[in-house]
Structure 1
Amino acid sequence: MPKLAGKEVGPIGYGLMGLTWRAEPPSQEQAFEAMKTALSLGSNAWNGGELYGSPERNSLHLLNEYFTKYPEDADKVVLSIKGGTKPGQLIPDGSKENVRRSIDECLNVLDGKKFLDLFECARVDPKVPIEETISYIAEYVKAGKLGGISLSEVGPDTIRRAHKVYPISAVEIELSLWVPDPLENGIVATCAELDIPIIAYSPLGRGFLTGRWRSFDDLPKNDYLRHLPRFQPDVFDENLKLVHAVEEIASKKGVVPVQIAMGWVLAQSKRKGNGDIIPIPGATTSDRIKENLKPAKLTEEDLAALDDILKKFPAVGHRYPAEHVHLLDA
């Protein structure tokens, strides 16, 4: 079993973003049911954010409510929270003042209901050396207020620089059949070398790999996916070729595309010298969570076929809009 901050976690974690950060978030009752389902099926590595919602309502508030109702679950969950942005804005601020503000706010909202196992800045602040930002977070770890430090959307050089200041417990990056780049750009290799587990977010390509959407018009009118380059009308059909290819493999194996996508990410863990890779699919219903937790078992022949597909149908378009690209360190 992989470990985060010294604690054992299941091979598949759970992303909380969609429970509080969307135009119409699910009810508390539905959110609690989803969280309970994930935990009951072994997904105890939970990933949320101070920025997943508003300063008045985000992952931390939902978690406080959940652990108030289910205090017996607190020690079962290994919790990672992203913060480090300006309050109410998606702008990174790695200064001592803001890092302290962010961590203090997270701890204040949790109100002792749950220990904060991992804290990470959602993005690296280009105005503050990573060494300084990590040193501020490390003060809280040394004081016993945090379990460890993780990083988000960082490249090999930043990982090494941060790790020299204080041991990094995890690196969170986007990794999926739609975003296999970390396997080639040195991120996965660097983490393996330093024995740092990888938390893979959006393992289903933000839902694209499920085959749910067949055209740009299928996307909900208020969905942020409509603003992402890879979902735009001029490239949608080209990117859909990958989905069709994955569907063919799924059909041959008697499974659904979700199971192939999840199986592929899990198969990268420990493959070809890689370290632990823990995907954290997000879902707001118990049925979706159950589906995500039934990954296909892929043979080397399957993996080779998927490798060929990735070469034949590389994703077209950047992962994020142009105004956000400069904040990606990877």
Structure 2
Amino acid sequence: MNSIRQVNLGTQGLAVPAIGLGCMGMTELAGLKTYGPANDAESIATIHRSLELGGNFLDTAELYGPLLNEQLIAKAISGNRHKYIIATKTGVEIDHNGKYTGKANGTKSYVKKAAERSLKNLGTDYIDLYYLHRLDPETPVEETVEALGGLVKEGKVKYIGLSEVGSQTIRNAHAVHPITAVQSEYSLFERQIEELGIIDTLKDLGIGLVAYSPIGRGFLSGELKSPDDIAATDLRKYLPKFQGDQFYKNLELVNEIKKVALEKNVTSAQLALAWIMAKGHVPIPGTKRVKYVEENIAAVNISLTDEELNRLETIIPLGTDTGAKYSEEGMKSINR
């Protein structure tokens, strides 16, 4: 197995490769093909190739599928569980029929039940990193984190995290049980957590940042030329960044980034990943194809000078409007 540079994710003792693998797109999400159709065999081959290259940090959630994504990962890691670092998430309610109920649930009883179900679906007796996927507005975060901490005491979870939460929620949670990582959408195209001071909070508390959609949900790859390139069954079709005039404004920014990538003889996707790693964060680009996992992992070896970092951040400075990362309704559940 090749080795990827290891980094400390937060300050609680969890070491991970400098880049992970987001597995959401390997199954459907509430009936939508996330980034196009998936094939189980190809997805499993991608996970195996990632491991061969040293990429053993996999990210999933009970919501993905729902439940099917965890079950797919169980097939991929069967017989080699000890070689992988598995992160999954709870708190977005899935009922006993495996259906998404449309609401968040961070109660102690749900977290405990969901953890047992995830352990079963993943075919494991422990979860390396267990996140609260979305904050439950009806349940104090302290109660949820207390339940997560209980799972740590039982040995069923090693480290805990939060996803898409605001600074005060992070501080409140960390006071109950040490938080290892916070997962948020973060890329050259999406820097809201910088603008809100959330990254400063993480640094202050010694909590790691795991950046999902680090290639701007594929936009920063430069492969999309028109909103028509996105199928009606693709999740991105319904996100503001990919709609109407906003799409073409974003395309102009991507074309500028491609110029920098061309000068460095790398792809624009690799450049976007290298930018996040240079900032000291762990990106988890999602893919279900061997070709792209190889390309993504190769970005670990790209170094950027301060001048290059500044150039990229001048192309898309803080405050640039690239479109909201979710619909108006979806935005209500994040950064609280």
Structure 2-normalised TM-score?
Answer: 0.90
Secondary structure (helix, strand or coil) at the match of 1:124 reads coil
- For the residue of structure 2 that corresponds to 1:34, the secondary structure is helix
Q: Does 1:29 align with 2:41?
A: yes
The equivalent position to 1:210 in structure 2, one of 221, 226, 248, is: 221
Q: CA 1:278 to 1:312, structure 2 compared with 1: closer, same or farther past 3 Å?
A: closer
Residue of structure 1 equivalent to 2:326? 320
Does residue 64 of the first structure (1) align with residue 69 of the second (2)?
no
Which residue of structure 2 aligns with residue 181 of structure 1? 192
In the other structure, the counterpart of 1:274 is none
Per the TM alignment, residue 181 of structure 1 is displaced from its structure 2 partner at its CA by: 2.4
Partner of 1:272: none
Shift of 1:39: 1.3
Partner of 2:3: none
Matched residues in 2 for 1:12 and 1:202: separation?
12
Segments of 4+ in structure 1 off by > 4 A?
none
Bigger proportion of residues as strand: 2
1:298 lines up with 2:308 in the alignment: no
Amino acid at match of 1:60: E
Q: CA deviation at 1:25?
A: 4.7
Three-state SS of the structure 1 residue aligned to 2:93 is coil
Residue in structure 1 matched with residue 85 of structure 2 by the alignment: 78
Within 2, Cα distance between the matches of 1:25 and 1:19? 8
Paired residue total = 317
Q: How many angstroms does 1:78 deviate by? A: 1.1
C-alpha distance in 2 between matches for 1:204 and 1:111: 30
Identify which of 284, 290, 296 aligns with 1:280: 284
Q: Report percent identity of matched pairs.
A: 35
Q: Which moved more, 1:122-131 or 1:3-12?
A: 3-12
Q: Give the secondary-structure state (helix, strand or coil) at the position aligned to 2:38.
A: coil
Give the aligned partner of residue 132 of structure 1.
143
Q: 2:111 aligns with which of 80, 85, 99?
A: 99
Please name the residue that 1:221 is paired with. Answer: 232
> For structure 2, which runs of at least 5 residues remain unmatched after alignment?
1-5
What residue in structure 2 maps to residue 311 of structure 1? Answer: 317
In the alignment, the residues of structure 1 paired with residue 334 and residue 264 of structure 2 have an alpha-carbon distance, to the nearest angstrom, of 36
8 Å contact from structure 1 (residues 242, 313) kept in 2: no
If the length of structure 1 is used for normalisation, what is the TM-score?
A: 0.91
Whether the 8 Å contact between 2:188 and 2:313 is mirrored in structure 1 is: no
Aligned to 2:209: 198
Give the counterpart letter for 1:188 in structure 2: I
Deviation at 1:173, TM superposition (A): 0.8
Q: Give me the whole-angstrom Cα distance separating, in 2, the residues matched to 1:148 and 1:265.
A: 23
Give 1:108's match in structure 2, choosing from 96, 104, 120. Answer: 120
Q: Is the 2:90–2:133 contact (alpha carbons within 8 Å) kept by the matching residues of 1?
A: yes
Residue 313 of structure 1 and its aligned partner are, at CA, apart by 8.7
Q: Distance in 2 between matches of 1:259 and 1:163?
A: 33
Match of 2:58 in 1: 46
Partner of 1:289: 293
Tell me which amino acid in the other structure corresponds to 2:289.
Answer: T
**Map of 1:2 onto structure 2:** 7
- Quick one: distance in 2 between partners of 1:108 and 1:145? 11
- Report if the CA contact (8 A) 1:230-1:315 is conserved: no
Distance 2:322 2:269 in 1: 21
**1:163-217 deviations in Å (ceiling 9; x for gaps):** 0000011110111000122233221111111111111100000000001111111
Deviates more, 1:154-163 or 1:1-10: 1-10
Match of 1:118 in 2: 129
CA root-mean-square deviation: 1.7
The 3-state SS of whatever aligns with 1:151 is: strand
Q: Distance in 1 between matches of 2:156 and 2:276?
A: 32
Q: Matches of 2:291 and 2:154 in 1, distance apart? A: 40
Contact 1:239 1:313 in 2 (8 A): no
Q: Secondary structure of 1:222's partner?
A: coil
Paired letter, 2:56: N
Q: Secondary structure, in 3 states, of the residue corresponding to 2:104?
A: coil
What do the CA deviations read for 1:280-323 (whole angstroms, capped 9, x no partner)? 00111111111111223211111111121112992332110011
The verdict on how the C-alpha distance between 1:230 and 1:108 changes in structure 2, with shifts beyond 3 A counting, is same
Mapped partners of 1:184, 1:39: distance in 2: 35
Query: Which residue identity does 1:103 align to in structure 2?
Result: A
Measured after TM superposition, the shift of residue 110 of structure 1 is: 2.6
